[in-house]
Amino acid sequence: MSAGGRLRGPVFGGSGTAFARRAKTTGTTAFLALAAVYVLVPIYWLVVASSKSQSQLFSTQTFLPPAHLSWASNFKGLFTFENGDFRWWLLNSFIYSSVTATLAAVMSTLCGYGLAKYRFRGRRVIFVLVVGSLMVPATALVVPLFLLEHFMGLTDTYQGVILPLLVYPFGVYFMSIFSAEAVPDGLIDSSRVDGAGELRTLWQISRPLLMPGIVTLFLLSFIGTWNNYFLPLVLLGTESRFPLTVGLSAWVSSISSVGAQPIYPEIILGSLVSVLPMLVLFPFLQRYVARGLSFGGITGE
Amino acid sequence: MSSPFLALFAVFFAGPLIYSIVLSLRSPLTGAYTGLLNYRTVLSDASYWNAVVRMGYFGLVQVTVMIGLAIVLALLLDSPYCRGKKVFALVYFLPYAVPGVIAAIMWGYLLEPDLDSALGVPHRLGLTSGPLQPLDYRLALYAIMLIVTWEWTGYNMTILLTSLTNVPHEVLEAAKVDGASELSIAARIKLPMVRRTVIFVVVLSIIGTLQLFNEPVILNEIASIGSTFTPNQIIYTTAFAFGNEELAAAQSVVLAAVTIVATVAFYGIVRRRMDPFAATRAVVK
């Protein structure tokens, strides 16, 4: 098994299969590395380009750092351009994502746990609704959602963006299966026998067992909200309430208007700032996120 | 315990869904019931169907390439010839943490000759009459394919890899004892065993393709590729630039119907061809 790893010295001195194995390992690694380059090139470019001033962007080699790093002035530009709207966008993205993720994880857990652990009338109907709504394309809802929120006075508000995102059918589906597997019925029964109420059982007995699933849901919802564009674009009108995606796209489109300020460095650095926190945290979060995604793949039919 | 979810579900999901159907049956001018008038407008709208067909072509090419690449990468990471599995798996998955808008900005600027001097290299070598223009309207579709593939290959690879990890060890050991090569193990055992997962990621990709919005919108700001490139762009423009919510609702309902038809058709195709794998699947179960 480990011959390829331990192989040393002249290849032809070894057996033919060892040579073939080593060739396959080299070929595999080369292909994997090539794919990694495809992924990393734009991210590398973003880091390098964010250090360039407006004139450096158009005069220096695309993939090489400039002679003088312009990060300091770019940061100043980013946080002061148009009254420093970018600071609001950063804060807003954080508010939208953390509030949505927290509430969506709690609500999906309550609903999914309820579906898995209690037998009540309408249980099957709810389950069918949840699974069926996984198949509705979200965009079919955007126009009527806008009109309904307009009617309720919710457009252009924080709650208007957050409330629709709390409806997270995948989360309910995920949590119903997760609780069925993670919390043995016997444990709940013995807690009841000991005289604990349902809520206390949920909090003290089930919650610790459900925690990994809750973390996964929180992360999926957080990333989904952070990356969302269509919904806040439609619902929001006031720039100081924009999340990063809507704000930066507004800057991108402002460049193409006549007599506009060339704000390429601000856009590029702003893009880096909006992805950096997640990219840095990702090695620690990957495991939880991957579990949530593959869930649909394994049980999703 | 389900009631908070159900209350919000009714107001922000079921409500809008029903409302969009009601809305699509109303006249854009008077608001009165007009039957299927809006649907007739949609059905005879050439630019709408151009966009739908464009997404069909996009799906055939891009989804095939992306899922193929995801399968190859997952199988390679799962093979004994792979070194540094964890690092590669992490790197491929990174774009999942990048918003589509930001991905489109990065790639959009990288594909702009003004900002990317590398695109001028063939010109300076005398190979082309000018710098490469990947965002030219004739090539923009392929530029979007490049971006979407960048965004979602690792996501699909991650789902497939988890599924591959669940292939029972005994089955693989038995194949090795029988002298099967790694290639035939990958093609004849691993791939058939994760077949359901492959179908699942293809369906997700088909749904995603028909909803394409962020990337074409951003590229249109950078290089004017057009505001009727995808069905969702048209729906957005109809509703919020022209203020015709009734027609936009009909366009949304038709898009949802197209999505369902495409998904069902795909299931129909793969179901019919399922038999060759039935034996393997029976062994697994």
**What CATH number does the domain containing A270 carry?**
1.10.3720.10
Contacts with A136 from chain B: Cβ below 8 Å: 13, 17, 256
Q: Per residue in A42-72, pLDDT tens?
A: 999 999 999 999 999 998 899 999 999 999 9
**pLDDT of the residue at A12:** 44
Please list every residue in chain A whose beta carbon sits closer than 8 Å to the beta carbon of residue B211: 137-139
A99 plus A186 within the same structural domain: yes
Quick one: pLDDT at residue A199?
84
Over residues A17-22, the mean pLDDT reads 86
Whether residue A63 is contained in a domain is answered as no
Residue B159, sorted as left (phi over 0), alpha (psi -120 to 50) or beta, turns out to be: alpha
Tens digits of residue pLDDT in B148-172: 999 999 999 999 999 998 888 898 9
Q: What is the pLDDT of residue B136?
A: 86
Contact B103 A42 (CB under 8 A): yes
Cα dihedral sign for B173, B174, B177, B179?
Answer: negative
Flag whether A68 is in a domain.
Answer: no
- How far is residue A192's CA from residue A185's CA, in Å, rounded to a whole number? 11
Residue A189 has pLDDT above 60, yes or no: yes
Q: Are residues A24 and A164 in the same domain?
A: no
Does A143 contact B at CB distance below 8 Å?
Answer: yes
Quote the DSSP letter at residue B131: -
Mean pLDDT of A102-129: 90
> CA–CA separation, B79 vs B84, rounded Å?
12
Mean pLDDT of A160-180: 91
Give me the residue spans of the domains in chain B: 45-284
The answer to whether residue B270 neighbours chain A at the CB level (below 8 Å) is no
What average pLDDT does chain A have? 88
User: What pLDDT sits at residue A295?
Assistant: 67
User: What's residue B285's pLDDT?
Assistant: 34
- State whether A8 and A94 are in the same domain: no
pLDDT at A47: 96
Interface check A282 vs B, CB under 8 A: yes
B205 in contact with A, Cβ within 8 Å: no
C-alpha–C-alpha distance, residues B75 and B69, integer Å: 10
Is A69 in CB contact (< 8 Å) with chain B? Answer: no
What per-residue confidence (pLDDT) applies to A296?
A: 55
Range of A258's domain?
75-299
* Candidate from A108-117, A128-137, A178-187 with smallest mean pLDDT: A128-137
B260 interaction partners in chain A (CB closer than 8 Å): 135
Nearest CA in chain B to A47: B106
- The shortest C-alpha distance from B48 to chain A (Å) reads 15
Cα-based torsion angle of the residue sequence A54, A55, A60, A64 in order, rounded to the nearest 10 degrees: -30
Residue of A110, A275, A301 with shortest CB distance to B1: A110
In a domain, A168, yes or no: yes
For the stretch A78-97, pLDDT in tens is 999 999 999 999 999 999 99
Task: Flag whether residue B109 sits within 8 Å of chain A, measured between CB atoms.
Answer: yes
Is domain B45-284 annotated with CATH 1.10.3720.10?
Answer: yes
Write down the pLDDT at residue B272.
64
Q: What is the pLDDT of residue A16?
A: 59
Low-confidence ranges of chain B (pLDDT < 70): 272-285
- The answer to whether the beta carbons of residues A229 and A249 sit under 8 Å apart is yes
What pLDDT is recorded for position B282?
39
CA distance B84 to chain A (A): 9
pLDDT at A11 over 60: no
Residues A125, A194: one domain?
A: yes
Instruction: Return the DSSP state at B189.
Output: I
Q: Is A240 on the interface with B (CB under 8 A)?
A: no
Position A299 scores a pLDDT of 42
Based on the fold, state whether residues A170 and A80 are members of the same structural domain. Answer: yes
**Number of domains into which chain A is organized:** 2
Instruction: Give the one of A32, A108, A135 whose C-beta lies nearest to B88's C-beta.
Output: A32
A64 in any annotated domain? no
A76's enclosing H/E stretch is: helix A71-117
pLDDT band at A105 (very low <50, low <70, confident <90, very high): very high
